Amino acid sequence: MAAMPPAGGDDNYGRKLVIFSSCLMPPSHQLNHHHLLQYLMYTLDQYVESDYTVVYFHHGLRSCNKPSLHWLRNAYREFDRKYKKNLKALYVVHPTNFIRIIWNIFQPLISHKFGKKLTYVNYLSELRDHLSWDQLIIPPDVLRHDERLQAAQKGGLHPSSKTPPPRPPLPTQQFGVSLQYIAEKNQGVMIPPVMSQTVAYLKDNGLQTEGIFRRSARVQLIKDVQKLYNQGKPVVFEQYGDIHVPAVILKTFLRELPEPLLTFPLYHQIQDVVRVESSLRVTTCKHILERLPEHNYMVLKYLLCFLNMVSQQSIINKMSPSNLACVFGVNLSWPSQGSVSLTSLTPLNIFTEILIEHYHTVFSSRSPVPPDTSPDTSSVTRPGTSPPPYGQAPLHSPTKQTRCDCLLG
């Protein structure tokens, strides 16, 4: 049953994505609706302990594969509070009058709070404000239907023809630009300010927060903080009163990199980790990281040092290396085309878990780097200078930042 594959990633606010495509539904006489309900609940059970989002592609639901109202009512009742509580958004793409009629029929059963989670999306392009829709696995029938709708809009004028060209990034831009761009605009600071500042705040205030990195924050708040960072304005996390704000900001920064921190070329090598004998996986992961560009390696080491620190408090915060890997794996690596599939999640999570749990071994040493490349991570400051406070890498440093560890001591 392929009607509801997980998207394998997060939306723009750090929430897991689950997709349901009606066009993949077989005719009703070929479908056991009891098994369908069990499948839906099994899929959601993997996500409901954390905040999650559902995207429903309505196109393709026809009289031949449409479930009965009786089944829909029973299905809604089967999804008890644990499924509804952490569902933060339900996007209905390409809605029709049928959807609106069904919604009105079920209105007496639906709470006002749950109803506020529903958003109608008329075109795929409207999903851009909420998630990276171009990285989703969208059925070809849905893509073609969307093209027809857009071509018919306003007498055949395609909306994309009215879209202004993208603006060049600001010199202070943090989100959606490369690590190299950030370093160049910050006089060689290797750890992006948004990373050093969120990690520093979470290290001091969030290590014992239960479920840290598994909860989302108010959408508008995240947008406001991103805007401040992109404009080069100071961000004071204390004023927001929500420890999950810097946690979501950190995940969002990683997810919006043009190329994942672990780079596109290493994606397939990471996927092959599960084929390696268990006793050799740590060494294999270490060798894979040797192929990273120096800048990526330094930033990754900084991040994983912190995640290892978080995992050491797992008795309190419930974030073991495995749980952290489920959150961060899809934010560290994804394919150059499409999104991470369900089958690809397991090796990606295993790889990330190894990096977190065996941080000291995986990052214990690295082959020598030519002197004209990025500086060695063991060099802290120039002679005669004092090391900067933890996590407070200056925006304008006279030398390249080389301190990547998060100073476990």
Residues 337-388: tens digit of each pLDDT: 877 777 888 899 999 999 999 999 999 877 544 333 333 333 333 333 333 3
Looking at the chain, how many residues does it have?
Answer: 409
* Mean pLDDT confidence for 26-50: 76
Residue 16: count of CB within 10 angstroms of its CB: 25
Looking at the fold, whether 124 and 184 belong to one and the same domain comes out as no
* Mean pLDDT confidence for 121-145: 77
Q: What is the pLDDT of residue 369?
A: 43
Q: Is the pLDDT score of 178 beyond 80?
A: yes
The verdict on residue 380 lying in a domain is no
User: The whole model's pTM is what?
Assistant: 0.65
What are the backbone angles phi and psi of residue 54, rounded to the nearest 5°? -115, 130
Q: What is the pLDDT of residue 400?
A: 39
Are 356 and 325 in contact by the 8 Å Cβ rule? The answer is yes
pLDDT band at 169 (very low <50, low <70, confident <90, very high): confident
Higher pLDDT, 53 or 197: 197
Most confident among 3-17, 99-113, 332-346 (mean pLDDT)? 332-346
Q: What is the pLDDT of residue 166?
A: 59
Looking at the fold, whether 234 and 355 belong to one and the same domain comes out as yes
CA nearest to 204, candidates 360, 359, 407, 405? 407
Higher pLDDT, 230 or 136: 230
Residue 17's alpha-carbon distances to 124, 360, 407, in angstroms, are: 16, 32, 34
The verdict on residue 404 lying in a domain is no
In the block, tokens 């596109």 appear at 264
pLDDT tens per residue, range 274-309: 999 999 999 999 999 999 999 999 999 999 999 999
Give just the sign of the alpha carbon dihedral 260, 261, 262, 263: positive
Q: What is the pLDDT of residue 266?
A: 96
The verdict on residue 127 lying in a domain is yes
Looking at the fold, whether 190 and 139 belong to one and the same domain comes out as no
Domain boundary among 162, 187, 204: 162
Domain boundary among 343, 362, 381: 362
Looking at the fold, whether 151 and 63 belong to one and the same domain comes out as yes
Higher pLDDT, 259 or 12: 259
pLDDT band at 63 (very low <50, low <70, confident <90, very high): confident
β-pairing verdict for 87-93 and 52-57: parallel
Looking at the fold, whether 151 and 198 belong to one and the same domain comes out as no
Looking at the fold, whether 154 and 267 belong to one and the same domain comes out as no
Q: Is the pLDDT score of 13 beyond 80?
A: no
Q: What is the pLDDT of residue 275?
A: 92
Residue 334's alpha-carbon distances to 92, 259, 340, in angstroms, are: 25, 9, 6
Q: Is the pLDDT score of 234 beyond 90?
A: yes
Looking at the fold, whether 187 and 271 belong to one and the same domain comes out as yes
Q: Is the pLDDT score of 83 beyond 90?
A: no
Q: Is the pLDDT score of 100 beyond 80?
A: no
The verdict on residue 174 lying in a domain is no
Q: What is the pLDDT of residue 126?
A: 82
The verdict on residue 386 lying in a domain is no
* Mean pLDDT confidence for 213-217: 85
Quote the number of domains for the chain.
Answer: 2
Q: What is the pLDDT of residue 347?
A: 93
The verdict on residue 398 lying in a domain is no
Q: Is the pLDDT score of 27 beyond 50?
A: yes
Domain boundary among 362, 384, 400: 362
Looking at the fold, whether 315 and 346 belong to one and the same domain comes out as yes
- Adjacency order of strands within the sheet including 52-57: 6-10, 16-21, 52-57, 87-93, 118-121
HSE of 315, CA atoms in CB hemisphere, 13 A: 1
Q: Is the pLDDT score of 158 beyond 80?
A: no
| % of the chain surpassing 70 pLDDT | 79
* Mean pLDDT confidence for 182-210: 94
CA nearest to 271, candidates 8, 43, 46? 8
Residue by residue, what is the 3-state secondary structure of the chain? CCCCCEEEEECCCCCEEEEEEHHHCCCHHHCCHHHHHHHHHHHHHCCCCCCEEEEEECCCCCCCCCCCHHHHHHHHHHCCHHHHHCEEEEEEECCCHHHHHHHHHHHHHCCHHHHCCEEEECCHHHHHHCCCHHHCCCCHHHHHHHHHHHHHCCCCCCHHHHCCCCCCCCCCCCCCCCHHHHHHHCCCCCCCHHHHHHHHHHHHHCCCCCCCCCCCCCHHHHHHHHHHHHCCCCCCHHHHCCCHHHHHHHHHHHHCCCCCCCCCCCHHHHHHHHHCCHHHHHHHHHHHHCCCCHHHHHHHHHHHHHHHHHHCCHHHHCCCHHHHHHHHHHHHCCCCCCCCCHHHHHHHHHHHHHHHHCHHHHCCCCCCCCCCCCCCCCCCCCCCCCCCCCCCCCCCCCCCCCCCCCCCC
Range name among 33-47, 87-101, 273-287 with the lowest pLDDT average:
33-47
Looking at the fold, whether 235 and 319 belong to one and the same domain comes out as yes
* Mean pLDDT confidence for 65-78: 76
Query: Using CA atoms, how far apart are residues 150 and 143, in angstroms rounded to an integer?
Result: 11
Looking at the fold, whether 117 and 185 belong to one and the same domain comes out as no
Looking at the fold, whether 218 and 157 belong to one and the same domain comes out as no
Q: What CATH number is attached to the domain comprising 315?
A: 1.10.555.10
The verdict on residue 388 lying in a domain is no
Q: What is the pLDDT of residue 109?
A: 67
pLDDT band at 313 (very low <50, low <70, confident <90, very high): very high
The verdict on residue 406 lying in a domain is no
Looking at the fold, whether 31 and 130 belong to one and the same domain comes out as yes
Q: What CATH number is attached to the domain comprising 69?
A: 3.40.525.10
Q: By residue range, what is the domain housing residue 201? A: 179-362
